[in-house]
Amino acid sequence: MALNVLVVDDSAVMRAMILKTLRLSGLPLNELHEAADGLEGLTLLKNNWIDLALVDINMPVMNGEELIAKVREIPELADLAIVVVSTESSATRIQSLRAKGAGFVHKPFTPEMLRQIIVEMTGISDE
């Protein structure tokens, strides 16, 4: 199985970095989608089959926490694998995100860190 991935981040440079890292990860990838805020991301999730969403927290229009809450309310999307990619360091906030079933990777991340959390959250492997 190859993953259809959505990257949601208001920084186009960060989205490009994440996509570049994904392409170099060795993980099997299919479609790669991008969104600049949570609302745009939610629309893409509703209209496309996506296996994994990599989501920033601080974004305009709809932030990452709001996006995750919306996704968990929609039966067709409720089980979506989500990894938060953020500068957030508060243990309380990170625990709250994990309680909503999201993985977490801290910026700046290494390719290995991103790959490991994706494998954990999706169960996918290139082996």
Partner 1 sequence: MNKQNAGALYKAGLSVFEDLGLMLPTPELDESQLEATPAAAALVRFDGPISGTLVVVLFGEDLLPSLTANMLGEMETPSEEQQKDALREVTNVICGNMLPNLSGLDAVFNLDTPEVLANPGNAPELGTPDTLVRIGLDSGRADLQLYLTRR
Site of interaction with partner 1 (CB under 8 A): 11-14, 16-17, 20, 58, 60, 86-93, 107-110
Compute the least distance from the CB of residue 108 to partner 1, in Å: 4
Nearer CB in complex with partner 1: 91/99: 91
Report phi then psi at 15, rounded to 5: -60, -45
Spatial separation of the C-alpha atoms in residues 67 and 60, rounded to whole Å: 11
Rounded to the nearest whole angstrom, what is the least distance from the CB of residue 104 to partner 1 in the complex? 13
| 43 or 58: CB nearest partner 1 | 58
Q: Which residue has the tokens 């479609």?
A: 31
Q: Is the dihedral of CA 76, 121, 22, 113 positive or negative?
A: positive
46 vs 106, beta carbon nearer partner 1: 106
Say whether the peptide bond before residue 75 is cis (omega within 30 degrees of 0). no
